[in-house]
Amino acid sequence: MSKSSLFCQRQLLHYLADGHFYSGQWLAEQLGISRTAVANYLNELKLHGLEIYSVKGRGYKLAHAIELLDANKIKKIQAAGSAQILVQHITDSTNCQLLQRLQAGQGMHSGTVIVAEAQTAGRGRRGRLWYSPYGTNLYFSCYWRLEQGAQAAMGLSLVIGLAVCRLLQQRYQLDAKVKWPNDIYINEKKLAGILVELSGQLDAACDVVIGIGLNVGMPAQSNEHIEQPFTDLRTASTQQIDRNNLIVQLQSYLVSILQEFNTTGFSPFISEFNQHDLYANRQVYLMAKTPIFGICRGVDHQGGIIIETTQSTEIYYGGELSLRAGE
């Protein structure tokens, strides 16, 4: 998409963000384009999951007022010395954007973040599509440098989950749980997912890209795209959710816990994880080459899940494993 098209879409949303009706003619005049171009730009935004009503004689309006991401506002509320937060309109994937910068040799400070209003190729674990409608959720990726190498990343996705839980508990009074190895749940419904991607050597410093998709205000049509129970912050919390503030808070909590992790590794987080373990002491089914049924007994010092079966107690690590509540 050209820069002029992105600019026009952004300007149209600047007017429509308040949730009121605006005529196509008025919008066209503000941007110096035709009414047909207005309709085309808004149709493109609909394809990215934005709910836009068109009523003859009244014009266009969003189904709900939205708060657009604002790079200037974000910068103003960041603490002094914080790493950069880059805001994109529509991108393929915020994780891909950071990985491309690494591959191009662009230097970044640990804690650098990219966020976007929408993703066209958002990814979850095991290559699953991550539904990324426009202007409603958080699509957030953070760069971190692990000086100890990729082997030190054991348990990293769980630590990231704990950072999200700390934020939700301390800022929004929400009791969130971590579903091993990379999901956040509230009231047995999925709120967020984590995707950690590594680039580097096992025994040398490596680059880490941490992707977090967090549901803030899922649109009505989301059930058509998601096959599991889900929730969002606006449903779970009584507080007003400001996405710009939330981005800054999330960066701060991530950097804080990653600094801890760099120094101590995963072991000191075991107790905290067990307090937030979605399936603690519950019957579970672990999908692997040979399905495993047993009781979830927490995690070990590397973040491996401990499952007690009728025959033995074993530890299992990430990769292609998935966890489901047992019957």
| 45: number of Cβ within 10 Å | 21
Provide the residue type at 173 as one letter. Answer: Q
Q: Which of 125, 177, 179, 297 is catalytic?
A: 125
The conformation of residue 137, written as its DSSP 8-state character, comes to S
For residues 40 and 8, is the Cβ–Cβ distance under 8 A? no
User: Active site includes 234?
Assistant: no
Query: Is 4 exposed, middle or buried, given 0-12, 13-18 or 19+ CB atoms closer than 10 A?
Result: exposed
Q: Which of 61, 179, 190, 297 is catalytic?
A: 190
Q: Residue holding tokens 């997912």?
A: 193
Dig out the tokens for 315 from the structure: 């530890």
> What is the three-class DSSP state of 140?
strand
- Ramachandran region, residue 49 (left: φ > 0; alpha: ψ -120 to 50; beta: rest): left
Distance CA 162, CA 273 (A): 7
Sheet strands side by side (includes 138-146)? 85-91, 113-119, 138-146, 206-214, 189-200, 183-186, 177-179
| 256: number of Cβ within 10 Å | 14
User: Active site includes 46?
Assistant: no
Instruction: Identify the sign of the CA torsion 41, 43, 44, 48.
Output: positive
Which are the contacts of 13, defined by CB distance < 8 A and separation ≥ 6?
A: 45, 66, 68, 135
Dig out the tokens for 59 from the structure: 């014009």
> What is the three-class DSSP state of 133?
coil
User: Active site includes 35?
Assistant: no
| DSSP letter string, 26-83 | HHHHHHTS-HHHHHHHHHHHHHTT--EEEETTTEEEESS------HHHHHHHSPTTPP
Task: Report, as residue numbers or ranges, the catalytic residues.
Answer: 125, 190, 324
